[in-house]
Amino acid sequence: MTEKEREQLSEKMREAGKDSDYQWILAGLLIIVTVGIFTI
Q: Is the pLDDT of residue 40 over 80?
A: no
Q: What is the pLDDT of residue 17?
A: 61
0.85 exceeded by pTM: no
Report the pLDDT value the prediction gives residue 32, as an integer from 0 to 100: 92
User: 7 or 21, which is more confident?
Assistant: 7
* Cβ atoms of 1 and 33 closer than 8 Å: yes
Percent of the chain with pLDDT over 70: 82
What pLDDT shows up at residue 9?
Answer: 79
The three state secondary structure string of 9-37 is HHHHHHHHHHCHHHHHHHHHHHHHHHHHH
